[in-house]
Amino acid sequence: MISKVIASQKISEVKELLNKYQKIVIVTHVSPDGDAIGSSLGLYHYLCELGHDVNVIVPNSFPEFLKWMPGSSEIFEYEKYPEFAQKLLNDAELIFCLDFNIPKRAYLMGPAIEAAKGKKVLVDHHPDPSDFCDVTISYPEISSTSELIFRLICRMGDFEVMSYDSATCIYTGMMTDTGAFTYNSNNAEIYYIIGELLKKGINKDQIYSNVYHNYSEDRYRLMGYTLQEKMKIYPEYHTSLIWLTNEEQMRYNVQKGDTEGFANLPLNIKDVFFSVFIREDNDFIKISFRSQGDFPSNKFAAQCYNGGGHLNASGGEFKGTMEEAIAIFEKGLVEFSDLLKNNKKKTK
Ligand code: 5GP
Ligand code: MN
Beta carbons of 153 and 197 less than 8 angstroms apart:
no
Give the per-residue pLDDT at 282: 85
User: 13: pLDDT confidence band, cut at 50, 70 and 90?
Assistant: very high
Give the per-residue pLDDT at 292: 94
**Which of these, 315, 180, 333, lies nearest to 259 by C-alpha position?**
315
- Ligand 2 mean position, distance from CA 236 (Å): 31
- Ligand 1 mean position, distance from CA 299 (Å): 12
Ligand 1, atom 11, lies closest to the CA of 309
- Looking at all shown ligands, the one closest to residue 291's CA atom is 1
**Alpha carbons 74 and 84: distance in angstroms, whole number:** 14
pLDDT tens column, 177-228: 999 999 999 999 999 999 999 999 999 999 999 999 999 999 999 999 999 9
> To which H or E segment does residue 316 belong?
strand 313-318
**Alpha carbons 40 and 52: distance in angstroms, whole number:** 14
Q: Once rounded to an integer, what is the mean pLDDT over residues 307-317?
A: 95
**Which residues pair with residue 328 across a beta bridge?**
none
Give φ, ψ of 124 to 5 degrees: -160, 165
Q: Once rounded to an integer, what is the mean pLDDT over residues 333-342?
A: 96
Give the per-residue pLDDT at 346: 62
Cα separation of the two ends of the chain: 27
pTM of this prediction?
0.95
Give the per-residue pLDDT at 169: 99
Ligand 1, atom 7, lies closest to the CA of 314
Residues with CB under 6 A from ligand 1: 33, 126, 263, 288, 307-310, 313-317
Complete DSSP assignment for 210-232: HHHS---HHHHHHHHHHHHHSEE
**Alpha carbons 120 and 58: distance in angstroms, whole number:** 16
Ligand 1, atom 15, lies closest to the CA of 315
Give the per-residue pLDDT at 27: 98
Type of residue numbered 261: G
Phi/psi region, residue 56 (left: phi>0; alpha: psi -120 to 50; beta: rest), is beta
User: 347: pLDDT confidence band, cut at 50, 70 and 90?
Assistant: low
**Alpha carbons 321 and 112: distance in angstroms, whole number:** 30
Average pLDDT of the chain is 96
User: 348: pLDDT confidence band, cut at 50, 70 and 90?
Assistant: low
User: 62: pLDDT confidence band, cut at 50, 70 and 90?
Assistant: very high
User: Is the pLDDT confidence value at 245 over 80?
Assistant: yes
Q: Once rounded to an integer, what is the mean pLDDT over residues 41-54?
A: 98
- Ligand 2 mean position, distance from CA 309 (Å): 10
Type of residue numbered 195: G
**Alpha carbons 47 and 195: distance in angstroms, whole number:** 22
Give the per-residue pLDDT at 344: 75
> To which H or E segment does residue 240 belong?
strand 239-244
User: Is the pLDDT confidence value at 250 over 80?
Assistant: yes
In the 3-class helix/strand/coil scheme, how is 150-196 assigned residue by residue? HHHHHHCCCCCCCCHHHHHHHHHHHHHCCCCCCCCCCCHHHHHHHHH
| pLDDT above 90 coverage of the chain, percent | 96
Ligand 1, atom 18, lies closest to the CA of 316
Q: Out of 314, 317, 318, give the residue to mutate to test ligand 1, the one with the largest number of ligand atoms within 8 Å of its CB.
A: 314
pLDDT tens column, 260-288: 999 999 999 999 999 999 999 988 999 99
